[in-house]
Structures are given as structure tokens and as C-alpha cells.
Chain A
Amino acid sequence: MLQVQNLSVSYGRASALHNVTMEVNEGEIVAVIGPNGAGKTTLLKAITGLLKAKEGTIRYKDNMITGTPAHKILGVGISHVPQGRQVFGDQSVEDNLILGAFSIKKEKQKIQELIEREYERFPRLKERRWQHAGTLSGGEQQMLAVSRALMSDPDFVILDEPSMGLSPIFVKQIFDTLLELKKSGKTVMVVEQLAMAALAISDRAYVLQVGEVKLHGQSQDLLRDDGLVKTYLGAASPN
């Protein structure tokens, strides 16, 4: 479904991604793990057009999407939940969801249905529907960020550290959501610091370090590999 080939990205003269090749197949959950500063966010941003690739190509469903600007990415079916949630803090929970459906411009009725679907997924959001998103707790903001990204009914969902700063209950809820998405036929790519938890729910995984893919394979195999944590993720990795 998604093919990244020999992708290199740099910030000014500093290289952040070097010659990264990876792919995500339809219906999979693919995890990208690696230490801070490995280039995980950079990879996601390059895929969804928030950053320009210096070299390499990105294909999605047989279309070349290299260089497609971010605001057109949702149109091809990819939705990106950015790192740090980035909800629209000055606007209400419901307005955030409405903005998530900006690109589909369907009838009000349809958008209302989508909103209700998201409220069913995360009932807490419904309780707080008129609250400014900036006043939600971190976990609630993450739920909102996920729901907002699902408002356009994307085929492919990309999430950048959805567990960041969340307590275990919230983390479980978010990870369960990823499994549900997979079950409903969507394809998921998730960047995570919680390497073990991410391996546990994903089909395949890529380990990124200083801008390069160091290792990739079936998540189960990586999970059994004792050296993985020590070698690539450093001592800081929890779980």
C-alpha cells in the first residue's frame, strides 16, 4: 500500500533520514520504533508532505505522492495524527471533529453521523464536546487527535507516539483503538516509544536509529530478540 524508497531528508545541512526504504501492506499495523531523535517523526512528516524529501520516492496505492503538499494528503486517503496531539486548543472538541471532516465536505447529516461514531468510540469526548480542546487532559487530547484524524474515513492512518505522556489505562485504550481500526480494514502505521507494547500489537516493525533503518521484520520475531532493546532502543525503553 505504502512504499518508501531510498528516502533522505535533511534540515538545512543536518541530515535526519538517510536512505530509508520501508513499506506498509494493506491491512497491516506497522510499528516504527527507535530512540529519541532517530528520525521517526521526520519519516512520517516526509510521507504526509509536511517535510520535503531530499532524495527518494514515496508511493501510495501505485501513485507517486513524493512532494504532494500536506493539505492534499488526506485526499489520497492518508490521515496523520501528529506527535504531541496538536489539537486546535482554542476551539471546542466538536469543532475539532468538524475540522477533521473539512476535506470531505459532505452533507451536515453525514458529518453528524461521523461525529456520533467518534463519540461512541470515546464517550469522554462527548461529555466534553463544548469544552475548549486546550483544556482537555493529555489523554483526552490524544483521543480527540485520533478521532479528528478518523473523521475523514481514511484508509491509512499514521500515528506519531500516541502513547506519549499517557497513563497505562489511556495507553491501552489507544492501542485497542488501533486494533479495532485494523479489524475494520484500515491500515495503520504507528511510531512508538513503548517499543514492547508496539511490537505486541503490530504485525511488522522497523527499528530506526540515527536516521537509518537498522532492523525490520515480523514484530513477533523482534519481540523474541533479547538483544533488540539493549542494542537499539537504549536502556531508557520502558516495558
Chain B
Amino acid sequence: MDLTDVLKAIINGLVYGSVYAIIAQGYYITFITTKTMNFGQGDFVMLGSLIGLSTFTAITAAGMGVWIAFIASLLLVIVVVGISGWALEQVAIRPLRSWHSIGWILSTVAVAMIVRNVAMLIWGRDVLMAPSPFGRAILDLGILKIRYHEIFVLVGAAVIMLLLYVFLKKSLFGKALEAVAFNKDAASLMGINPRLMASIAFIIAGTLAGVGGVLVGPMVHPGAFIGLFLGLKAFAVAIIGGIENPRGIFIGGLLLGVSENLFALYSTSMKEAAAFFLILVILAVLPQGLFGKRVKEKF
């Protein structure tokens, strides 16, 4: 193992980590507004990458350019998975929320299984190849070679999260969402419709999953089963970063990505253990996650 390997592992880690972070922002946004989340978020990512892959392939096969194909597949994924997010909230979250229960955990997992099985019917059980609009082009920096797609993912994910962050913190809508999260009744007295906000939160979460899927597709071999590991990693990121802190999630994502790739230098089997090792260490020291809210007095 030399320095190049370490550098390569770090960059790889940042790329994967930023995808985990995007997916995990979906947990964040629904959690703060409804105190619930989609435990099938990973399968929405899978749906995004497979729909993206099929659309991309179909359009390029029809002779159109890769960028038209990429943008069209991205838009289609945003619409389809965004609507799936909305539908999930209607079907699996809303009816169960009035009970004082954690029934929504089971119901979102159930929806995830259905999504996975439908995906298996459509795309089969095998892993597929997802082409990138950059093809296999590589940026050669001498000691280091990086695929253009990876740079694209890293930059794209950072931009998406920055936009999301600014949108949530600065726009009136974002303030309203935060108000609902803080106190639903008081927010409704301001004329904010909490149900609408919940729907929108799940649409955004679905969209993030879909976009994450399109980005990650060419880096993994997508198939109906990839949702489980992506969803779990993203969930780990949300816990590490502090589920109510979008910046923490971003940093937590990068941290997990980098550390699992560094672990992998020693042994590939260690790679999967990295996430859980990291969670244990961080939660032992900081039970609220890296950047979780410290307990604050309200009155």
C-alpha cells in the first residue's frame, strides 16, 4: 500500500460519501417535519438508478445524444420517484400517524419490499451496467486517475445539498417547514398547512433518493437489490451526523465514505464493518451524533 492508494481511497470515499449524504438528507427532511421517515429510502434510490438506466439506454439507442439522454432520465426519475415519495406518505405514513405507534416503520419497509419485487419483475435479478454520460473517460493526474463521472457526482452532490440547505434555511417555505417541525399546532395557527408540508417533505425526500440513484448508478452495478445497502449506509450517515442537522449529515457522509474506503485498504471485509464501527464510536462519545442538537431549554 502506498500513498497513491490512500489518496485514491480518500477520493473514492468522498464520492460515495456524498451520495450517501444526499440520500440521507431525505431522512432528515421528513424526520424534521413529521418525525417519521421512509425505511425504504434505499429502494427508492434503486428505483432511481434503474429507471435512469433504462431511460438513458433507450434514448441513446434511439440515436440521441448522451446529455439529452441524461437530462431526460434525470427528469423522469425526479418525477416518478418524487411522486412515489408523495404516494408513500399518503399510503404508509399518514394513515398510521394518528396512532401513537411506530407502525410506519413496518409500513414503509413493506412498501420497500413491494418496490423491490416489482423492480425484480421489470429488471430481473441480475446486476446491470449503467452507462455514464461521461462514458468511461478518465482524468489522468499522473499519480492519480479519476473518472469524470466521479468528479461529476462529487460536485453535483455538493451543489444539490448546498441548494437544499439554502432553500431550507432562507426561503419562506423552508422556514415554514422548520416551524411545522418545531410545533405543528403553532405553525397551523400561522396559516401553514402541516399536511401539505408533510407531503412536500416526502416529495423532496423521494426526489433526493431518485437523484442519488441516477448519480450512483454508473459507479455500482445497479440491480433490484442495491437499495438495502445504500439505504442502510445513508441511515448510518444520518445517525452519525445527527438526524436533525443537514450539515452534520453532509460531513457524516463524507466521513463514512472515506473511512470505509480506508478500511477496505486493509481488508475488503472490513469495509462493511466500517459504518457500524464508526457509529459505535461516535455514539459512545456523542449520543446525539456528531452535530446533533444539544438539549436545549425551551421555557
**Residues of A in contact with B (beta carbons under 8 Å apart):** 48-50, 69-75, 79-80, 82, 84, 86-91, 95, 98-100, 102-103, 134, 138, 148-149, 152
Contact = CB atoms under 8 A, between A and B. Distances in A.
Contact of A102 (B172, B182, B183, B299): B172
B175 interface: yes
A71 B172 CA distance: 16
B189 to A, nearest CB: 5
A50 B190 contact: no
Given A90-B178, A91-B178, A134-B298, A71 B191 contact: yes
A99 B188 contact: no
B175 A95 contact: yes
A71 B299 CA distance: 25
B193 interface: yes
Interface of B: 172, 175-176, 178-179, 182-183, 185-194, 296-299
- Name the prevailing secondary structure of the B interface residues: helix
B186 A86 contact: yes
A102 B189 contact: no
Contacts of B297: 134
Contacts of B296: 89, 134
A87 B187 CA distance: 9
Q: List 5 tightest A-B contacts by C-beta distance, closest first.
A: A103-B191, A70-B188, A86-B186, A74-B191, A71-B188
A155 to B, nearest CB: 15
A88 B182 contact: yes
Contact of B192 (A49, A87, A102): A102
A170 B179 CA distance: 26
Given A91-B175, A99-B175, A138-B299, A74 B190 contact: yes
A90 B179 CA distance: 8
A80 B179 contact: no
In the complex, which of the residues A71, A75, A100 has the most CB atoms of chain B within 10 Å of its own CB atom? A71
A50 B183 contact: no
Given A70-B185, A86-B183, A99 B190 contact: yes
Contacts of B182: 88-91
Given A102-B172, A134-B297, 18 more contacts: A49-B188, A50-B189, A70-B189, A71-B188, A71-B189, A72-B191, A80-B189, A82-B186, A82-B189, A88-B183, A89-B182, A89-B296, A91-B178, A91-B182, A99-B176, A99-B179, A100-B190, A152-B191
22 contacts: A50-B185, A70-B189, A71-B189, A71-B190, A71-B191, A71-B192, A71-B193, A73-B191, A80-B189, A86-B183, A86-B185, A86-B186, A88-B182, A88-B183, A88-B186, A91-B175, A98-B172, A98-B175, A99-B175, A99-B176, A99-B190, A134-B296
